[in-house]
Amino acid sequence: MTVLCVDPDPDERAATVAALETAGLSVRAVDSVSAARDALDGDGDDVVDCLVTEYDHPDGTGLDLVAHARETAPDTACVLYTDRDPAAIDTVALGDAVAEYLQKGEDGHDRLVELVGFSVATRSQTAYPLPDDEDARLAALDRFAADPDELDAALARLTEIAAATLDVDAAAVGLIDAHQERFLGCYGIDIDRMDREDTVCTYAILEEGVTVVEDLHEDPRFADNEAIEASGLRFYAGAPVVALDGSKIGTFCLFDFAPRSLSAEDRALLELFAAEAGDQLALRGRLQEQETPATDGPGRDDGDLTESEQ
């Protein structure tokens, strides 16, 4: 677990780093908003699991950093660890972003260690829930849906059949990565990508079987969702698309522009369509592996033909 500690005061920064490292955490320390932005924008081994920041900085505020983290790395837990009284913090500027607040004090470092561990473990700052197997799920998505563009036409035929069979206005296959959902084979609706926090499918992959929302306007999770409101959609049903290892990499989803229900028989059919989409993704993945040129063995070049090859 990597923690980014941002504090302009060298003594305070050193004390916070020491407390976190004593707890067994890996810590990167910087002294400004600009340096912290650079650290948050890193990738690969530079991923930050938790941002711990003072509120007051010479080149901005801790809330500026929280907002930046929400835009570039939404899964990063954020903690304002500050001397500033909470009443004096401009929380309006934070908008929808969420950060834990902890005031520095005599037992502040002990409480900070506990809060960092809890925040990273639960990913409580994300605007959407995460499956328990999120890391494995993303790895499976990379393996089995490496080139989804090639599947678009085949999936479009499948979604058209599903929409006609189940008598809904629209259907699509959604693949859910770390922060976005990409829609393939769209029939009856034109969607390319949506932020994961705005999609119903984010919740569908947490469930076993089919997820049905008969009226999106009446569900408290989606009633104030601007993206869904703009789409005009009222009904949603989704069945998980499952990779070979059992990970739910997306959904086969149905949409309608009017509230409605879905019978038990139609739910079973939707699960069959989702299974077929998963099979097509797996087949494409296996074909891509077979098409990858094999490398020559060590010590052999084009002139080293065996007797049977001559």
Q: Is residue 302 part of a domain?
A: no
Domain range for 53 is 2-122
pLDDT value of position 173 = 97
**Bridge partners for 167 per DSSP:** none
Last residue of a domain, one of 122, 143, 177: 122
CA 58: distance to chain centroid? Answer: 33
Nearest to 42 by CA among 3, 73, 70: 73
Spans of the chain below 70 pLDDT: 43-46, 90-98, 122-127, 145-149, 285, 287-310
> Domains in the chain: how many in total?
2
Q: Is residue 69 part of a domain?
A: yes
Q: Is residue 298 part of a domain?
A: no
Q: Indicate whether 147 and 240 sit together in one domain.
A: yes
Q: What is the dihedral of CA 191, 194, 196, 202, to 10 degrees?
A: -10
Q: Indicate whether 17 and 103 sit together in one domain.
A: yes
Tell me the per-residue pLDDT of 94-122, one tens digit each, with 9 for 90 and over. 555 567 888 888 778 988 998 888 777 76
pTM for the full predicted model: 0.59
